[in-house]
Amino acid sequence: MSIPIVRIVAELRSIVAAWRREGFRVAVVPTMGALHEGHLSLVRAALAKADRVIVTLFVNPKQFNSAGDLAVYPRTEHDDAAKLASVGTHILYAPDAADIYPQGFATTVSVAGVSEALCGAFRPGHFDGVATVVTKLFLQTGANLAFFGEKDFQQLQVVRRLVRDLDIPIEIVAGPTVREADGLAMSSRNTRLSAAERRSAPRLAEILFETAGRLSSGEPVERLLHDARQEILAAGFSPVEYLELRAGDNLALMATADRPARLLVAAWLGQTRLIDNVEVESAQRSVQALKQAAA
């Protein structure tokens, strides 16, 4: 099974124009490749809601904070294309850098507020890079729907905000975080963990779920977050960049878990930065599910 790979925006536009003439609804799943089950679950969700699905693959230099990180980002286009073909994706759009950032490119899309705290505070310019490329991909594909994973929860809120603010006619659909059997959130960066780090990594999700469960049953936020941070450090993560309780919609900091909330974390395990988050209200259920999965 193979999948058409399109690299030139003009070609993409003519394919999408033909789909439109047929009356098809078009979905896009933006990615940077190194695809795993998390991405494929978004593609399946997109296939269920749209007639045609485009997956984009562009390792966006503008959202990396260091040249070193960009250089080691996994590039696995051949395997990615095979995975996408196997689930029935219609097109892989893997543009040339010149089609995304042509000579003289001078525009930045910057979303204030939701992009400033959490990862935004530790990765200056990251969300400007994300917002800029996502805006271009929306405009290039002309899709009706776009799918993003909740694993990158802050990114999801940044994209929702930019679409609202700029009146981009696209519906943003969120997909739940997909986890390994031991609870570790799937991420393209997990391949960088050593065998020993991979064994420690699931502790992050475990602590997150347990803390969220206790938060949703009303225990004091400050003490719980302090204790959880110590547990994450004790599990071998360092530094813990943030562990915060934030409102699920606008990411405002919360001192009590008295409305829909999200517990978000970023921490380093060796040379790898891991992020994760969990919805606080449903956390109780998740602790039980995790225990059942481990039993």
Give the active site residues.
Answer: 39
Residue nearest to ligand PAF (CB): 30
Report if residue 280 touches ligand PAF, rule: CB under 6 A.
no
How far apart CA 9 and CA 114 sit, in angstroms, is 30
Q: Which is nearer to ligand PAF, 172 or 283 (CB)?
A: 172
b/e map 126-137, b = 16+ CB within 10 Å: bbbbbbbbbbbb
CB of 229 within 8 A of CB of 211? no
**Part in contact with ligand PAF (CB under 6 A); list of ranges 74-82, 128-136, 196-204, 212-220:** 128-136
Compute the least distance from the CB of residue 93 to ligand PAF, in Å. Answer: 11
How far apart CA 55 and CA 30 sit, in angstroms, is 6
**Amino acid at site 184:** L
Question: Both ends of the chain: CA-CA distance in Å?
Answer: 38
Compute the least distance from the CB of residue 284 to ligand PAF, in Å. Answer: 29
Report if residue 32 touches ligand PAF, rule: CB under 6 A.
yes
Report if residue 178 touches ligand PAF, rule: CB under 6 A.
no
Q: Which is nearer to ligand PAF, 109 or 215 (CB)?
A: 109
Q: Which of 15, 16, 27, 31 binds ligand PAF (CB under 6 A)?
A: 31
Query: Total number of residues binding ligand PAF (CB under 6 A)?
Result: 10
Q: Which is nearer to ligand PAF, 174 or 235 (CB)?
A: 174
Residue 76: how many CB atoms within 10 A of its CB? 15
Residues within window 148-167 making contact with ligand PAF, judged by CB under 6 A: 152, 155
Q: Which of 21, 78, 26, 76 is nearest to 55 (CA)?
A: 26
- 249 annotated to bind ligand: no
Q: Which is nearer to ligand PAF, 155 or 286 (CB)?
A: 155
**Part in contact with ligand PAF (CB under 6 A); list of ranges 28-36, 198-206, 253-261, 274-282:** 28-36
Q: Which of 130, 232, 257, 269 binds ligand PAF (CB under 6 A)?
A: 130
- 230 annotated to bind ligand: no
Q: At what angle are helices 283-294 and 202-216 packed, to 10 degrees?
A: 140
Residue 7: partners with Cβ closer than 8 Å, 6 or more residues away? 93, 94, 95, 96, 99
Residue 72: partners with Cβ closer than 8 Å, 6 or more residues away? 192
How far apart CA 232 and CA 273 sit, in angstroms, is 13
Six token digits for residue 269? 């395990």
How far apart CA 8 and CA 94 sit, in angstroms, is 8
∠ CA 276-189-245 to the nearest 5 degrees?
15
Q: Which is nearer to ligand PAF, 77 or 227 (CB)?
A: 77
Residues within window 46-65 making contact with ligand PAF, judged by CB under 6 A: 60, 63
Six token digits for residue 286? 């998740």
Residues that bind ligand PAF (CB under 6 A): 30-32, 60, 63, 130, 133-134, 152, 155
> Binding site residues for ATP, as ranges?
32-39, 149-152, 178, 186-189
> Binding site residues, as ranges?
32-39, 63, 149-152, 155, 178, 186-189
> Binding site residues for beta-alanine, as ranges?
63
